[in-house]
């Protein structure tokens, strides 16, 4: 008997068309769904006015670092002033400032002012550490390292807004220190909210890019696995494979 005729290599096109068809179905069913972003996961701003969002986030990180140091200094000073001007306390010696601007009324109000100053100092220390982490994360575009700053700065901003309102209500705004602190923290609170929005928007953009990269890696690995699973079936069904010229089944004469 004569040997069976070897199929032509032109039929190998069906192999690649089968793989292409499978991957195209995968793309149509998964990629469109994965690219839909909920409204609460969309960036709040696209740029920072005169700066792009990346540089705006870096400026926000430097700003929060400087602000945390300023808050620690002023918070410690407020605690010291409230302690020195406590009703019934006796002082000896000379002092470089007058404590007339310090609240000396109801003890519960004084204790609340001290409590706000203490929480401000503690939250500012966490912002100081997280701001350093944020600056490093922005240089490497590593969004997960930005999460501590988002939490710490949000809590810090809430504490400072409440502290600013309470400070402005109970203190006499006839003294220069009290007027200056109320004015500065009014500006700082607005800047804090905007800085948080800029960094959060950049965080969402980087997180979306990471998801797209993971999806691309998943597609590549899926295509590789499909190609690998197709090769054994071809070797068993053909006397020759598209990848070699070695006969895989015996021939009878």
Indicate whether 61 belongs to any domain. yes
More confident residue, 209 or 197: 197
Its pTM surpasses 0.75? no
More confident residue, 11 or 233: 233
pLDDT for 172 beyond 80: yes
Mean pLDDT of 107-117: 93
3-class DSSP string for 41-102: HCCCCCEECCEEHHHHHHHHHHHHHHHHHHHHHHHHHHHHHHHHCCCCCCCCCCCCCCCCCC
Indicate whether 174 belongs to any domain. yes
Asked whether 129 and 69 are in contact (CB, 8 A), the reply is: no
Q: How many domains does the chain have?
A: 1
> For position 140, what pLDDT does the model report?
83
Q: What length does the chain have?
A: 253
pLDDT for 240 beyond 60: no
Which residues on adjacent β-strands are paired with residue 48? 51
pLDDT for 233 beyond 80: no
Least confident window among 48-62, 87-101, 175-189: 87-101
Neighbouring C-beta atoms of residue 49, cutoff 10 Å: 9
> For position 227, what pLDDT does the model report?
61
pLDDT for 21 beyond 50: no
pLDDT for 179 beyond 70: yes
Indicate whether 252 belongs to any domain. no
> For position 230, what pLDDT does the model report?
58
> For position 54, what pLDDT does the model report?
87
Indicate whether 245 belongs to any domain. no
Distance CA 96, CA 80 (A): 14
> For position 63, what pLDDT does the model report?
96
pLDDT for 211 beyond 90: no
pLDDT for 95 beyond 70: no
Mean pLDDT of 125-149: 92
Distance CA 226, CA 231 (A): 9
Q: What is the pLDDT of residues 44-88, one digit of tens each?
A: 666 556 677 888 899 999 999 999 999 999 999 999 989 888 877
For residue 164 the two structure tokens come to: 């600013």
Query: Is residue 118 very low, low, confident or very high in pLDDT (cuts 50, 70, 90)?
Result: very high
Q: Residue 48 — φ and ψ, nearest 5°? A: -115, 55
pLDDT for 31 beyond 60: no
DSSP states of the chain: -PPPPPPPGGGGHHHHHHHHHHHHHHIIIIIHHHT---GGGS-S-SEETTEEHHHHHHHHHHHHHHHHHHHHHHHHHHHHHHHHT-TT----S--SS--TTS--S-HHHHHHHHHHHHHHHHHHHHHHHHHHHHHHHHHHT-GGGGHHHHHHHHHHHHHHHHHHHHHHHHS-TTSHHHHHHHHHHHHHHHHHHHHHHHHHHHHHHHHHHHHHHHHHHHHHHHHHHHHHHHHHHHHHH-SSBTTB----S----
The parent domain of residue 140 ranges over 54-219
Indicate whether 139 belongs to any domain. yes
């Amino acid at each position: 008997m004569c040997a069976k005729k070897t199929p032509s290599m032109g039929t190998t096109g069906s192999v690649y068309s089968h793989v292409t068809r499978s991957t195209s179905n995968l793309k149509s069913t998964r990629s469109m769904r994965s690219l839909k972003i909920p409204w609460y996961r969309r960036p709040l701003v696209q740029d920072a006015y005169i700066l792009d969002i990346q540089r705006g986030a870096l400026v926000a990180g430097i700003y929060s670092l400087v602000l945390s140091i300023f808050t620690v200094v002023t918070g410690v000073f407020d605690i010291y002033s409230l302690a020195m001007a406590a009703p019934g306390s006796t002082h000896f010696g000379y002092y470089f400032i007058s404590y007339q601007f310090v609240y000396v009324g109801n003890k519960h109000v004084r204790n609340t002012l001290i409590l706000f100053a203490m929480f401000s100092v503690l939250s500012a220390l966490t912002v100081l550490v997280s701001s350093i982490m944020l600056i490093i994360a922005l240089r490497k575009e590593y969004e997960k390292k930005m999460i501590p700053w988002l939490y710490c700065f949000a809590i810090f901003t809430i504490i400072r807004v409440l502290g600013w309102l309470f400070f402005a209500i109970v203190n006499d705004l006839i003294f220069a220190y009290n007027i200056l602190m109320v004015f500065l923290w009014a500006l700082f609170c607005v800047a804090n909210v905007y800085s948080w929005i800029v960094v959060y928007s950049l965080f969402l953009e980087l997180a979306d890019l990471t998801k797209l990269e993971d999806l691309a890696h998943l597609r590549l690995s899926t295509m590789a696995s499909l190609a690998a699973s197709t090769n054994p079936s071809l070797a068993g069904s053909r006397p020759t494979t598209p990848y070699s010229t070695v006969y895989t089944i015996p021939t009878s004469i």
